[in-house]
Amino acid sequence: MNNLIVRSFAGLLFLDLVLAACLFVPAGTLGYWQAWLFLVVWTVCIVLITGYLVRNDPALLERRVQAGPVAETSPVQKIIQSVAALAFILVFIVSGLDHRFQWSSVPVAVVIVAELVVALGLYTVFLVFRENSFTSATIEVAAEQKVVSTGPYAIVRHPMYSGALLLMLFVPLALGSWVGLPFTLPLILVIILRLLDEEKLLTASLPGYADYCQKVRYHLVPYVW
């Protein structure tokens, strides 16, 4: 357990340092209050979620620690995850450059609202973790896994991706950048490709998943798709 806790928080620290570098280096200054606020909101939310998993579902936390393109077993998912990682980082770099060169200006009120939506996206991810202990960071089907159709899964088939999509759409605004918004489009694309590939695996390997898809029609966004 102690090793799992150390790996989890070490991973968060590493990601925070990467994000900080991708924000403050392009911005050319540490006086970037939107970036500081985002990092605080992001880190507090992740720490709270991790703390919950440590206490209530360490098995899920172990599944989540094994993440990224290297952890994927499918060649297609390795490519998708690699593109997603690059697109994710690019959003922060472009937002930092926007701050340096003042390409755009986001009102303070919009920045604050965007931060709240980022927190809401992470809260959605938390609800998914609380409902489904088999939410692995890689696409796989565990031997004892069952279809989950309650909680957020009663609304869309992939609520964790819905939370991630909500989060990422508002990250540029939380960082004070309109210019960063178009750079979220590749992330939307890879999320769609990933979930469609995941549905193929689950339909073929998880008993009852095809019936679940008949009941829950929306993949990602309620009443849209």
DSSP string, 34-58: HHHHHHHHHHHHHHHHHHHHHHH-H
Whether 121 is covered by a domain: the verdict is: yes
Domain assignment of residue 8, yes or no: yes
Is 224 among the domain residues? no
Q: What are phi and psi of 17, to 5 degrees?
A: -65, -40
| Distance between first and last Cα of the chain | 40
Kindly tell me if the per-residue pLDDT of 61 is higher than 60. yes
Joined together, the tokens standing for residue 200 give 């193929």
Domains in the chain, number: 1
**Euclidean distance between CA atoms 83 and 215, whole angstroms:** 32
Range of the domain at 119: 2-215
Domain membership flag for residue 222: no
Query: What residues contact residue 89 under an 8 Å CB cut-off, 6+ apart?
Result: 18, 22
Question: Is the per-residue pLDDT at 103 higher than 80?
Answer: yes
In the numeric block, which tokens belong to residue 216? Answer: 């829950």
Residue 68 covered by a domain: yes
Q: How far apart are CA 17 and CA 23, in angstroms?
A: 10
Per-residue pLDDT tens for 162-181?
Answer: 999 999 999 999 999 999 99
- Integer Cα distance of 193 and 76 in angstroms: 10
Q: Of 9-13, 14-18, 20-24, 71-75, where does mean pLDDT reach its minimum?
A: 71-75
For residues 223 and 102, give the distance between their C-alpha atoms in angstroms, rounded to a whole number: 37
For the domain that residue 154 is a member of, what is the CATH number?
1.20.120.1630
Answer yes or no: is pLDDT of 33 > 60: yes
The secondary element (H helix, E strand) that includes residue 125 is helix 108-131
pTM: 0.88
Whether residue 221 is contained in a domain is answered as no
DSSP SS3 for 220 = coil
Tell me, yes or no, whether 6 lies in a domain: yes
125 lies in a domain? yes
**Residue in the structure block whose two tokens are 């499918």:** 74
Residue with tokens 């709240």: 116
- Summarize pLDDT for 106-152 with one digit per residue, the tens: 999 999 999 999 999 999 999 999 988 877 666 666 667 788 888 89
